[in-house]
Amino acid sequence: MTQTQPERALRTPPERRPRTVTADGGATLHLFGRFGLPMLLVLVVALFSFWKPASFFAWSNFNATFAQQAIIVMVALGAMVPLIVGEFDLSIGANAGFAAILTVGLSELQGLPPWLAILLAVAASAVIGLLNGLIITRLRVNSFVATLGTATAIGGIGQLYTDQRDIQSVPPELLTIGRATFAGLPITVIVAVVVAALLAVVLQLLPIGRQLLAVGANRKAAELTGIRPELRIVTAFVMGGVIAGIGGALYGANLGAAGNQTGATLLLPAFAGAFLGSTTITPGRYNVLGTLVAVLLLAFTVSGLEQVGVQPWIEAVVQGFALIAAVGFSSWAIRRRTQLMRNAQLALLAAQDTAAPTPKEPA
């Protein structure tokens, strides 16, 4: 039986266009966009290891860096969760600092058992996250304004609790928890890895994680699918508060002291890590692995520069410029992803038009 031309058009797949550098937006650019930051981390570690092998390329240096940055990682992950749903939490540093104050204060001033003090501090951080979420969703206050106001209020409450002084001593039992080690690694590092792994599982495998990502991608579209955006925004702030609370509580337990300026020192590196992390692994999206890589890159860069003789002020400079560069690259990655998706949709429509049969004209 002879096939007509329209029938052959239906059976014959459209000609595939070869994937060239021009057609797909640049395979090399795509690869560098995804893995450029991890490669840069390897390069930085290799450079300073060759430059200062005795001090930089030593397990004691790596171990100390991991221990110091574990708290930053948790606060950065806490800041990342609200960013996923398109909101900012400028109180995340103050929240973590308040958890440190409560952990130390409840143990030293009120004499509570260390584990109970830690749990109460994390619970307080969760309540702060809940308040942030409710203020933003119920009172319709911009997240910048709401969380900035919350951060200021937290600072005042912390000063009231400590009578405007730093707490310089803690019970030995709390120090034992904060400075414990397992398999040669500080407990803070282990907890940070566990928290990061759990958050990655939640975001990638559980429905609530996919709903958070959907709200951040397109709030109106998410609502049309049955997702309640306001509830997920509140959830994101609570999750961020809990993660930051864990980091702050362990920070106080490890340091054995707490000050009212702790929150301010945690805010900038946390946001620098979260924004810089969104430029790698899955560019244009906030992701756990990218945040880990970004925090370590900044930490090893600062550590290496200090070991070659640069003064400690370099840390603030690196973090500040990293935050600016990260926001710029993140915005570019989002625009790039949107453009590629639009091009792919147009190419698909063009291919469908090419494959569609031409209607016969009536005789």
Q: What is the pLDDT of residues 35-81, one digit of tens each?
A: 888 998 999 999 999 998 988 999 989 998 999 899 999 999 999 99
Please write the tens of the pLDDT for every residue from 344-359: 778 887 777 776 666 6
Please write the tens of the pLDDT for every residue from 301-321: 988 988 888 888 888 888 788
**pLDDT of res. 12:** 47
- For residues 186-213, give the mean pLDDT: 95
Q: Please classify residue 337 by burial: count the beta carbons closer than 10 Å to its beta carbon, then call 0-12 exposed, 13-18 middle and 19+ buried.
A: middle
Q: Which conformational region is residue 26 in: left (phi greater than 0), alpha (psi within -120 to 50 degrees), or beta?
A: left
Please give the Cα distance from 254 to 22 (Å, whole number).
53
**pLDDT of res. 321:** 83
**pLDDT of res. 359:** 60
Amino acid identity, position 104: V
Look at residue 249 and tell me if it is in a domain: yes
Number of separate domains in the chain: 1
**Inter-residue contact 220 to 214 (CB < 8 Å):** no
> pLDDT band at residue 15, thresholds of 50, 70 and 90?
very low
Q: Which conformational region is residue 310 in: left (phi greater than 0), alpha (psi within -120 to 50 degrees), or beta?
A: beta
Look at residue 155 and tell me if it is in a domain: yes
Sign of CA dihedral 191, 233, 290, 305: negative
Look at residue 194 and tell me if it is in a domain: yes
Look at residue 222 and tell me if it is in a domain: yes
Please write the tens of the pLDDT for every residue from 245-261: 999 999 999 998 888 88
> pLDDT band at residue 342, thresholds of 50, 70 and 90?
confident
Given a cut of 60, is residue 17 above it in pLDDT?
no
> pLDDT band at residue 334, thresholds of 50, 70 and 90?
low
Look at residue 3 and tell me if it is in a domain: no
- For residues 163-185, give the mean pLDDT: 89
Look at residue 41 and tell me if it is in a domain: no
**pLDDT of res. 20:** 41
CA angle 156, 273, 247 (to 5 degrees): 50
Please write the tens of the pLDDT for every residue from 78-132: 999 999 999 999 999 999 999 999 999 999 999 999 999 999 999 999 999 999 9
How high does pLDDT run on average in the chain?
86
Given a cut of 70, is residue 235 above it in pLDDT?
yes
**pLDDT of res. 290:** 93
Which residues sit opposite 258 in a β-bridge?
167
Look at residue 198 and tell me if it is in a domain: yes
Please write the tens of the pLDDT for every residue from 258-272: 888 888 889 999 999
Given a cut of 60, is residue 8 above it in pLDDT?
no
Residue range(s) defining the domain that contains residue 70:
64-261
Look at residue 322 and tell me if it is in a domain: no
**Inter-residue contact 79 to 263 (CB < 8 Å):** no
Given a cut of 60, is residue 11 above it in pLDDT?
no
